[in-house]
């Protein structure tokens, strides 16, 4: 049976991962595979760390969308892929390290621009956009980048104002129009997840 592909997009720290986890809770873990779009940032081995820090990582051109589409297509054909692994502290892909991902009943693609590429949208069975208040997203990102990604306060603020917010307005928010479901993540969304899980199970049957 052809896998079901669900693409989940939304601004930085909007709660995409939370939604993914809630969907997974409705299925056996072996039936769901998650692809993180962040792992498909382009390799920047020819640049210094200081140069890599200056890259606009919220622009579509920072992603290797061709490789992502190729890997998703192979998964949909039942093949196993070897996804790149991205290191946020080094701002680059990890060398000689990949993650093996096998085709499962449900494949979830999660990322800020998961709905951007028309080829990926055409592969997907369900398109989801997770929406959250901008102030809440900024606070979540600030905490995450400092505690998990080794960033300092000033660099997070500068990056947010110079690239994150402008790119959200220009490229990410407009993909909302492609979504089958828009989930507000400022309040409880149990009903949305229950309906979505029921729809997925119905497709599987």
The domains found in the chain, sorted by start residue, are 4-199 (3.40.50.300)
For residue 127, with 0-12 CB atoms within 10 Å meaning exposed, 13-18 middle and 19 or more buried, which class applies?
buried
| Of residues 66 and 133, more confidently modeled | 66
State the pLDDT at residue 35: 97
Q: What is the value of pTM for the model shown?
A: 0.90
What is the pLDDT of the chain when averaged over all its residues? 91
**For residues 66 and 145, what is the distance between their CA atoms, to the nearest angstrom?**
27
User: Is residue 95 predicted with pLDDT exceeding 70?
Assistant: yes
Q: What is the pLDDT of residues 138-166, one digit of tens each?
A: 888 888 888 887 788 888 888 888 888 99
Neighbours of 200 (CB within 10 A): 22
Question: What is the arithmetic mean of pLDDT over 57-76?
Answer: 97
| Distance, CA of 158 to CA of 34 (rounded, Å) | 30
Per-residue pLDDT at 186: 66
């Amino acid at each position: 049976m052809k896998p079901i592909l669900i693409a989940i997009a939304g601004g930085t720290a909007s709660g995409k991962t939370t939604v993914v986890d809630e969907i997974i809770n409705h299925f056996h873990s072996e039936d769901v595979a998650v692809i993180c779009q962040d792992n498909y940032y382009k390799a920047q081995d020819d640049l210094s760390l200081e140069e890599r820090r200056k890259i606009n990582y919220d622009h579509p051109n920072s992603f290797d969308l061709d490789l992502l589409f190729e890997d998703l297509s192979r998964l949909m054909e039942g093949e196993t892929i070897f996804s790149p692994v991205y290191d946020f502290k080094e701002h680059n892909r990890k060398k000689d390290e990949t993650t093996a991902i096998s085709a499962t009943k449900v494949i979830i693609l999660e990322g800020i621009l998961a709905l951007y590429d028309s080829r990926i949208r055409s592969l997907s069975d369900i398109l989801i956009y997770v929406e959250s208040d901008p102030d809440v997203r900024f606070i979540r990102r600030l905490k995450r980048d400092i505690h998990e990604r080794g960033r300092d306060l000033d660099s997070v603020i500068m990056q947010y104002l110079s690239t994150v917010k402008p790119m959200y307005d220009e490229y990410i928010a407009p993909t909302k129009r492609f979504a089958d479901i828009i989930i507000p993540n400022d309040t409880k969304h149990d009903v949305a997840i229950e309906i979505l899980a029921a729809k997925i199970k119905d497709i599987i049957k």
